[in-house]
Amino acid sequence: MDWDKLRIFHAVADAGSLTHAGDALRLSQSAVSRQIRALEESLNTTLFHRHARGLILTEQGELLFDATKSMNKRLDAAAARIRDSEEEVFGELRVTTTTGFGTLWLAPRLPKLYEKYPDLKIDLMLEERVLDLPMREADVAIRMKEPSQADLIRKRLMSVRMRLYASPEYLAKNGTPLTLEDMTGHRLICQSPNSIQVSAGAVLVQHLLTQDIPHVFTVNNYFGVLQGILNKIGIGVLPDYVIEDFPELVRVLPDLESGEVPVFLAYPEELRQSKRIAAFRDFVQDEIFAHRRRIREAGDPD
């Protein structure tokens, strides 16, 4: 089969549209259509069902798309290895993690990574959806649970617990709750029970909501929860790592916290020799060690 036609087929199947695929490939819609027709004729089969809303793969098209996805994955991995210099760290590194961890812990520390590797380009993808590393949706991930895929290298970085925090100004004005029952006099800021979040955090939120707290402000990520706390809206549920960068926050009800949430770094086996991956992995591990040391020095055993 013609490699160029397969490349165009993959773009069309991925986009579900001749127009969008043409835009991505910088080809006209008619040129894309001709290539798809020629590929269908060479295979003597129909690859797409055409309808008003776009294109849907036929069964034969699905088989070919599975093959081109696998090819793309291997080509991306080969390109990544080729781009890695023996002496230098440079090029693009696609990193995925949750919005909370990415905004509250990782992003503030990236200047240190750029100081050491100025030619490294980080593409940071913050979302709760777990991106598929073997299919090269990202190069490396920091996840709040152990990855289940077998063809990933994974390393446990640290453990996190969800706790209650408030601003000193809020507590000075509204008082500090001493028991869980006292929370009924405060507004709780937390992630919505319906939003995607780590299970330990969800369990803590559900427990708090059983206390018949009349005022609740929900946000779909921890960055929003932090903004609510800093703006004195109420008492919020946050991961404990935020305290290092926001030491002014006051922990409320110190006996109440979630179970441990493990934090893992993972990347595909194919990128084991990647200089960019190694640089990022070592940077994150060094920052974790420094974070733990500062916490110990502050007198918090957790």
Contact indicator for 269, 151 with CB cutoff of 8 Å = yes
Q: What is the pTM of this model?
A: 0.71
Q: Helix, strand, or coil here: 75?
A: helix
What beta strand segments (E) does 199-285 contain? 215-219, 235-239, 250-257, 261-268
The residue among 290, 189, 288, 184 whose CA lies nearest residue 233 is 189
CB–CB of 18/32 below 8 Å? yes
Nearest to 92 by CA among 70, 62, 124: 124
d(CA 85, CA 278): 12
What whole-number distance in Å separates Cα of residue 175 and Cα of residue 132? 46
Q: Tokens at residue 138, please?
A: 């990202």
Running DSSP on this structure, what letter comes out for residue 234?
A: -
Please report, in tens digits, the pLDDT of each residue of the chain (302 residues total). Answer: 788 899 999 999 999 889 889 998 999 999 999 999 999 999 999 999 987 777 999 999 999 999 998 888 878 777 766 666 555 687 889 999 999 999 999 999 999 999 999 989 999 999 888 888 888 889 999 999 888 887 899 999 999 999 999 999 999 999 999 999 999 999 999 988 877 777 888 899 999 988 889 999 999 889 999 999 999 999 999 999 998 899 999 999 999 999 999 999 999 988 888 889 999 999 999 999 988 887 777 766 45
Q: d(Cα 63, Cα 57) in Å, to the nearest integer?
A: 9
